[in-house]
């Protein structure tokens, strides 16, 4: 049986760049060819695979479902080709791609990255903050992900970084709320949420208090926003001790009561690619030392 003819590499490259930019003009600029050449290559590829890869709209293009799948696979393939060429040239891969949950990146990781850079000046970090899952090896070399205690996600996948517990915190006020060392000090305050209310419901249950339903509420889509609202005196947030240590130490935030509630845990997941193995090991070891030295 004759082997199937492989599509033109020029056409594949033209399509991958056009898909990345969602623009034939930008693709032409990156590849230093004409827009007509990009269009010709893409049409040839569509004829070759027998599928429409782009929808041509007025002054713009968008990927079809088939185009999206092919673009994702080609992007990963060209990354691997580039790494293979650099390896043959004797240039070891120096860039490590991290996909990190936003709150962990902003509140814990980024303030410490200066120490990683000092310890490993030869490693370039490419940091993406996202709650979306990424394909390890294709989109990222390392992913740091959070799973709530009651999440359906497996809490055992990957290496445990640390677990989180939430404590009620409020902007430093003078005078402080009456009985602020007791859980009942939370009652009557506006509750700040970065979820649908599950975390605060869990805290009220752990504290053995009623009053969640009758409280005033304010909802945010991001943990950092809820924390910022607390710092501005807009209510009480459930703060993770690992993320609010600077504010507690400086006195900008004050803990109310004694009860804490389990949030979930952060875990580190790695790709299995050999090309980035040394870099992944360096980052993972640094992360472990950082947690031990600066709990």
In this structure, the answer to whether residues 77 and 98 fall within a common structural domain is no
List, in order, residues 6 or more apart from 260 with CB less than 8 Å away. 165, 166, 167, 203, 206, 241
pLDDT of residue 1: 39
User: Could you read off the pLDDT of 185-197 as tens digits, one per residue?
Assistant: 899 889 999 888 9
- Mean pLDDT of the region 38-42: 94
Domain finish residue from 68, 89, 110: 89
- In angstroms, rounded to a whole number, what is the distance separating the alpha carbons of residues 147 and 158? 11
Domain annotation covers residue 1: no
User: Is the predicted pLDDT of residue 155 greater than 70, yes or no?
Assistant: no
- Mean pLDDT of the region 243-270: 88
In this structure, the answer to whether residues 201 and 269 fall within a common structural domain is yes
Domain finish residue from 63, 89, 115: 89
In this structure, the answer to whether residues 41 and 19 fall within a common structural domain is yes
In this structure, the answer to whether residues 136 and 60 fall within a common structural domain is no
In this structure, the answer to whether residues 190 and 68 fall within a common structural domain is no
List, in order, residues 6 or more apart from 39 with CB less than 8 Å away. 24
HSE value, Cβ hemisphere, 13 Å, CA-based, for 236 = 28
In this structure, the answer to whether residues 67 and 205 fall within a common structural domain is no
Domain annotation covers residue 169: yes
In this structure, the answer to whether residues 13 and 144 fall within a common structural domain is no
User: Is the predicted pLDDT of residue 159 greater than 70, yes or no?
Assistant: yes
Report the number of distinct structural domains present in the chain. Answer: 2
In this structure, the answer to whether residues 130 and 214 fall within a common structural domain is yes
User: Could you read off the pLDDT of 164-173 as tens digits, one per residue?
Assistant: 888 999 998 7
CB 159 within 8 A of CB 268: yes
Domain annotation covers residue 20: yes
Domain annotation covers residue 140: yes
Domain annotation covers residue 3: no
Lowest mean pLDDT among 3-12, 30-39, 210-219, 232-241: 3-12
Domain annotation covers residue 4: no
- Mean pLDDT of the region 93-121: 87
Domain finish residue from 74, 89, 104: 89
In this structure, the answer to whether residues 134 and 253 fall within a common structural domain is yes
pLDDT of residue 130: 77
More confident residue, 76 or 244: 244
User: Could you read off the pLDDT of 220-231 as tens digits, one per residue?
Assistant: 988 888 988 999
- Mean pLDDT of the region 241-262: 87
Domain, as residue range, for 283: 94-295
In this structure, the answer to whether residues 259 and 144 fall within a common structural domain is yes
User: Is the predicted pLDDT of residue 36 greater than 90, yes or no?
Assistant: yes
In this structure, the answer to whether residues 174 and 103 fall within a common structural domain is yes
The three-point CA angle 21-34-77 to 5° equals: 45
In this structure, the answer to whether residues 177 and 66 fall within a common structural domain is no
User: Could you read off the pLDDT of 43-79 as tens digits, one per residue?
Assistant: 999 999 999 999 988 888 888 888 888 888 888 788 7
């Amino acid at each position: 049986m004759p082997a199937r003819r492989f599509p033109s590499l020029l056409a594949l490259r033209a399509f991958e760049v056009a898909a990345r930019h969602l623009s034939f003009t930008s693709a032409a600029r990156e590849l230093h060819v004409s827009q007509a050449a990009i269009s010709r290559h893409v049409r040839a590829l569509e004829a070759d695979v027998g599928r429409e890869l782009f929808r041509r709209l007025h002054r713009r293009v968008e990927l079809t479902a088939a185009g999206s799948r092919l673009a994702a696979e080609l992007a990963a393939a060209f990354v691997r080709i580039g790494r293979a060429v650099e390896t043959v040239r004797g240039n070891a891969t120096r860039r490590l791609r991290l996909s990190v949950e936003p709150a962990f990146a902003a509140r814990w990781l980024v303030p410490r990255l200066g120490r990683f850079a000092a310890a490993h000046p030869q490693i370039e970090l490419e940091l993406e903050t996202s709650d979306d899952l990424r394909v390890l090896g294709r989109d990222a070399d390392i992913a740091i992900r959070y799973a709530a205690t009651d999440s359906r996600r497996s809490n055992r996948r990957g290496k445990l970084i640390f677990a989180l517990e939430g404590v009620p915190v409020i902007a430093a006020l003078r005078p402080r709320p009456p009985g602020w060392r007791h859980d009942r000090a939370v009652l009557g305050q506006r509750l700040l949420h970065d979820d649908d209310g599950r975390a605060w419901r869990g805290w009220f249950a752990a504290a053995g208090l009623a009053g969640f339903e009758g409280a005033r509420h304010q909802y945010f889509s991001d943990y950092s926003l809820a924390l910022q609202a607390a710092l501005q005196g807009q209510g009480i947030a459930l703060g993770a001790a690992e993320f609010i240590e600077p504010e507690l130490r400086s006195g900008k935030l004050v803990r109310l009561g004694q009860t804490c509630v389990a949030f979930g845990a952060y875990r580190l997941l790695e790709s299995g690619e050999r090309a980035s193995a040394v870099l992944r090991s360096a980052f993972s070891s640094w992360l472990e030392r950082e947690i031990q030295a600066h709990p």
